[in-house]
Amino acid sequence: MLLREVAHLKRFCFLLACMLACSFLFASCAPNSNAPSSETRTVTDGIGRCVSVPKEGLRVASLLGSFADIWYLSGGTLVAAAEDAWEDFSLPLEGAVNLGGAHSPSLEAVFSSGANLVLASASTASHVALEEALTAAGIAVLYFDLNSFDDYLSMLRTCTEITGREDLYEENGIAQKERIDAVLAEYRALSLTDAERKVLFLRASSGSVKAKGSEGTVLGEMLFDFGCINIADGGALDDLSIEKIILDEPHHIFTVSMGKDETAAKASLDRMMAENPAWSTLDAIEEGRFHVMDRSLFHLKPNARWGDAYEALFDLLTAQ
Please tell me if the domain spanning 21-164 has the same topology as the one spanning 190-318: yes
Percent of the chain with pLDDT over 90: 79
Query: Residue 24, class by beta-carbon neighbours within 10 Å (0-12 exposed, 13-18 middle, 19+ buried)?
Result: middle
- The CA angle 148-290-245, to the nearest 5 degrees, is 85
Q: Which CATH number fits domain 190-318: 3.30.565.10, 3.40.50.300, 3.40.50.1980, 3.30.300.30?
A: 3.40.50.1980
CATH superfamily of 21-164: Nitrogenase molybdenum iron protein domain (3.40.50.1980)
241 pLDDT tier (thresholds 50, 70, 90)? confident
Identify the helix (H) or strand (E) that includes residue 54. Answer: strand 50-54
φ/ψ of 76, rounded to 5, equals -95, 175
Do 251 and 196 meet the contact criterion of CB atoms below 8 Å apart?
Answer: yes
At 264-299, the pLDDT tens digits run: 999 999 999 999 999 999 999 999 999 999 999 999
pTM for this entry: 0.87
| H-assigned helices in 52-117 | 65-73, 84-87, 107-113
Backbone angles phi, psi at 205, to 5 degrees: -125, 180
